[in-house]
C-alpha cells in the first residue's frame, strides 16, 4: 500500500474536502467535518494524534494518513486525496512547487527537526578520517541545509557568496579532510545505510531517525542548530488556508498544550515554533 491509515475514522458519515471547504470547516446537524491530513509517521502523525481530541470538540474529525516518503503526500494533496499535509519544511515545499507546478501554500509553521550526522564507526566529527565518505539525501532542497550544518561544525567551508539554503556540493571551497559526499540516496533509506555501516557517516532527517528509535541529540556526532530556518509546515492547496477547519488545525498545533507535548516527548529533538 502506498500509504497506511494512521487515524481512526469516527462516525458513519464522512464529508469530502469540497464539503469541508464549502461549509468553512463547521459542522451541521450533528455531522462532523472531516479533515484528512497526510503526515510522516514520526513526529508528525504522533503530534496530529494529540490534536484529534482538540478538533473533535470543535466538530472536526481529523483523519491521519501516514506516509513513508516525501513524494506521495504532495501528489495526494494535489489530486484531492488529502486536505492538507504535514511533513515538509519550507525550502522543500518551495522546490516541489517550482518543480511540479503545485498550487500549494504554507498554512502555518509548526516545528523544526534538527538534521543530524550519524556514524557507527566514529564517535565524533573530529574523528572522521581523511577521505571519509558521507552519505546524504538525493533531495537537493536539503543539500544547503546539511552543508551549512557541516560548515558550522568546522568540517568544510562554503563559498561566502552563495546563499546557504541553495548551496550545493560544488559550493564547498575548503575541505581540509577531503570529505567525499555521496548524495545518491532516498531520504527514507538513510537509516538503513547507517545501520548497515555504509560509508563513514550518514546525514539523516530527524523524522526518520526518531521513527527508527534513534535519538538525534544523543546518537548524532553533529546536529543542526535549533535556530534552523527549515520549519515544518502545514501545506494546503491555495485558498484552503482560510478554511475554518485548516485554521483550527494550525491553531491547535500551535497551542500551549501541543507545544508542551512536543518538548516533553522529544526533549529537543523536535522544537516547536511560535511564529
Q: What is the pLDDT along the chain (275 residues), one digit of tens a residue?
A: 333 333 333 333 333 333 344 333 433 344 679 999 999 999 999 999 999 999 999 999 999 999 999 999 999 999 999 999 999 999 999 999 999 999 999 999 999 998 999 999 999 999 999 999 999 999 988 899 999 999 999 999 999 999 988 999 999 999 999 999 999 999 999 999 999 999 999 999 998 999 999 999 999 999 987 678 899 999 999 999 999 999 999 999 999 999 999 999 998 899 999 76
Dig out the grid coordinates for 21 from the structure: 471547504
pTM of structure:
0.79
Amino acid at each position: 500500500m502506498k500509504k497506511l491509515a494512521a487515524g481512526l475514522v469516527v462516525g458513519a458519515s464522512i464529508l469530502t474536502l469540497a464539503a469541508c471547504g464549502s461549509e468553512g470547516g463547521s459542522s451541521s446537524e450533528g455531522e462532523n467535518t472531516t479533515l484528512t491530513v497526510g503526515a510522516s509517521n514520526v513526529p508528525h502523525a504522533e503530534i496530529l494524534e494529540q490534536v484529534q481530541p482538540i478538533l473533535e470538540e470543535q466538530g472536526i474529525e481529523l483523519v491521519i494518513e501516514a506516509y513513508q516518503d516525501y513524494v506521495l503526500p504532495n501528489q495526494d494533496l494535489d489530486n484531492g486525496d488529502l486536505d492538507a499535509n504535514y511533513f515538509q519544511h519550507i525550502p522543500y515545499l518551495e522546490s516541489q512547487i517550482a518543480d511540479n507546478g503545485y498550487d500549494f501554500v504554507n498554512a502555518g509553521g509548526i516545528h523544526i527537526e534538527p538534521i543530524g550526522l550519524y556514524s557507527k564507526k566514529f564517535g565524533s566529527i573530529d574523528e572522521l578520517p581523511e577521505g571519509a565518505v558521507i552519505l546524504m539525501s538525493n533531495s537537493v532542497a536539503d543539500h544547503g541545509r546539511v552543508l551549512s550544518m557541516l560548515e558550522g561544525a568546522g568540517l568544510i567551508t562554503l563559498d561566502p557568496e552563495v546563499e546557504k539554503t541553495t548551496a550545493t556540493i560544488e559550493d564547498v571551497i575548503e575541505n581540509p579532510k577531503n570529505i567525499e559526499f555521496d548524495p545518491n540516496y532516498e531520504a527514507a533509506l538513510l537509516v538503513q545505510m547507517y545501520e548497515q555501516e555504509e560509508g563513514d557517516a550518514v546525514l539523516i532527517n530527524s523524522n526518520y531517525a526518531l521513527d527508527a528509535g534513534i535519538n538525534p541529540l544523543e546518537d548524532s556526532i553533529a546536529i543542526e542548530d535549533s535556530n534552523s530556518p527549515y520549519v515544518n509546515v502545514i501545506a494546503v492547496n491555495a485558498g484552503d488556508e482560510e478554511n475554518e477547519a485548516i485554521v483550527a488545525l494550525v491553531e491547535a498545533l500551535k497551542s500551549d498544550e501541543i507545544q508542551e507535548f512536543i518538548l516533553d516527548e522529544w526533549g529537543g529533538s523536535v522544537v516547536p515554533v511560535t511564529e
